[in-house]
Structure 1
């Protein structure tokens, strides 16, 4: 996951949840059942200087009824390790409560073996860090949910969508089974979606612009498509009830996506 231009934006993104905690707004806003997202740039809220790049967490509320709020704490460039080391999990745990949900999606940056501040080994430290999210949510009466990392856009010479996350999805699946935690297999679901769409059509879902060919991050159609996968998986796994979700079969206008000014 490239951190060149995005790293500039991440400073502003990173400040939002921390500022909320510092002012106490996070607790004040905690008046209804809330779905918290801990993750990286594929899920994060983007600001105007990053448009049209869009995280799937921005589009998720389109598929949820008003009784379920979304608190998107995902931040560009973070791994399961660095998110904890920067105190971001603590921010969520200070606000989360009984009946809430914590959806955890990491993997893209855990793979950065050259960066010790982010790297985790899939079968040891990756699982160790993920357990901290599970234990923290459970201790507060909230329900943790693991989501395998959404797939990048990569195709082989024969036009087959190729997985890019190594052992991380398998490790998360094993952890979910061991811990009896609901798993959203977004890696498998997104890989199947990219396969159905094909190499050319998927360009319309990723952040391909006149100046950038980004095969990791989404534009509005891509963010909406992945958010739909997440919402449908939450329903299918029994994490959400039918009354919690909406518009799963509806066309969502791209105009519903907005990028606030940082």
Structure 2
């Protein structure tokens, strides 16, 4: 074989390796490479917040700080939604319309599924909750995207002895069971956040949640004692944990991520006009 033919053959063999070396990029139209997108389906703990809600912050607002430039976030999470109401309002359809092959669909519900007194939102952990979650999984897979189930991040609740208490009942276990049954990547944020709150303790978690003194924020003139929603530091912490969990699950690679071990100040968070 001539030198020229050997070089040509070597180049052709190396081509797939060169493409696989950019895992955060997917093929677009005309053979072009495009950034992969992480689509978030969830509730107020992940959602985009606006100027009239500051300093309340969803962890989806902080996730881009930990992603490389070849990854994008499409945050569809909305306050007050459950796995059921998100679908009933047509929001899953809108999300899936933007999903392309090799994208990720991050699915975190539970907080509002627990409100079983509300027929528009409440679900049963091992029946309707799992049935609705399957629709997200199947929708992502039908578009050759990867679904990722995320157990609901824990609230700030402590026993008198300072032990962090779980608050989501059977919903996290039901999601774990579904992930195992369907072979879906699971990020167990309920367990990870509960352990994190335990390490920080009742006082150490206060700056992470939307606890405000009267007059501290013009949006909350009478103050606020919110053990569910985050301030910037809490959202950054949860987003960092989510990014690390995606790495541990091998859903993302080290080259897809940044700043996992670097300070990310809460002051980087901004709230657009309502």
1:98-137 correspondence to structure 2 within 5 Å: 98-137=101-140
Distance 1:166 1:58 in 2: 27
Distance 1:59 1:83 in 2: 22
* Equivalent in 225, 236, 247 of residue 235 of structure 1: 247
State the structure with more CA Rg. Answer: 2
Query: Where do 5+ consecutive residues of structure 2 fail to align?
Result: 1-32, 214-222
Partner SS state of residue 125, structure 2? coil
1:164-203 correspondence to structure 2 within 5 Å: 164-203=167-206
Distance 1:224 1:253 in 2: 8
Partner SS state of residue 42, structure 1? coil
Partner SS state of residue 35, structure 1? strand
Distance 1:237 1:84 in 2: 27
Distance 1:209 1:166 in 2: 28
Shift of 1:66: 0.8
Shift of 1:32: 2.2
Q: If the length of structure 1 is used for normalisation, what is the TM-score?
A: 0.88
* Equivalent in 86, 89, 102 of residue 83 of structure 1: 86
Distance 2:141 2:149 in 1: 13
Query: Where do 5+ consecutive residues of structure 1 fail to align?
Result: 1-29
Distance 2:129 2:96 in 1: 19
Which whole-Å deviations, capped at 9, do the CAs of 1:114-137 have from their partners, x for residues lacking one? 100000000000000000000000
Partner SS state of residue 123, structure 1? helix
Distance 1:255 1:202 in 2: 18
Distance 1:87 1:31, change over 3 A: farther
Distance 2:144 2:35 in 1: 14
Partner SS state of residue 117, structure 2? coil
Distance 1:41 1:217 in 2: 7
The aligned length equals: 233
Shift of 1:251: 0.6
Determine the structure 2 residue equivalent to 1:58: 61
Distance 2:269 2:110 in 1: 25
Determine the structure 2 residue equivalent to 1:18: none
Shift of 1:81: 0.1
* Equivalent in 227, 250, 274 of residue 215 of structure 1: 227
1:136-175 correspondence to structure 2 within 5 Å: 136-175=139-178
Distance 1:253 1:242 in 2: 22
Determine the structure 1 residue equivalent to 2:260: 248
Shift of 1:31: 4.7
Shift of 1:97: 1.0
